[in-house]
Amino acid sequence: MGKESVPVYLSEMAPAKIRCALNIGFQMMITIGILGANLINYWTANLESGWRISLGIGAVPAIMGQKEGAKKMLQKIRGIDNVDEEFQDLIDASEEAKK
């Protein structure tokens, strides 16, 4: 399972009425992330340690990741408390995409 599996997973698991919006939102966030990375690289390109700053800033979202908050959001979206299996599937897909 690769990075391209996330939109497919979203399409399969999302309620039909928000499926399109969810996938468009996912793609928009990816695009905004690419734009942000390019802007950071542009601003740090002429600094002596610019690559270190750029790499360090890239680690910020990973540090901010909160699994418990994500699980609560999934429970809210699904309207049920028992989302353990689906949540674990999401974590597994995320870990697989990082390889």
pLDDT band per the 50, 70, 90 thresholds, residue 39: very high
Check residue 2 and give its pLDDT: 54
Contact 5, 97 (CB under 8 A): yes
Q: What are phi and psi of 63, to 5 degrees?
A: -70, -35
Q: What's the whole-model pTM score?
A: 0.58
Q: In which element (H, E) is residue 2 found?
A: none
The per-residue pLDDT of the chain, averaged, comes to 84
Q: Is the pLDDT of residue 59 over 70?
A: yes
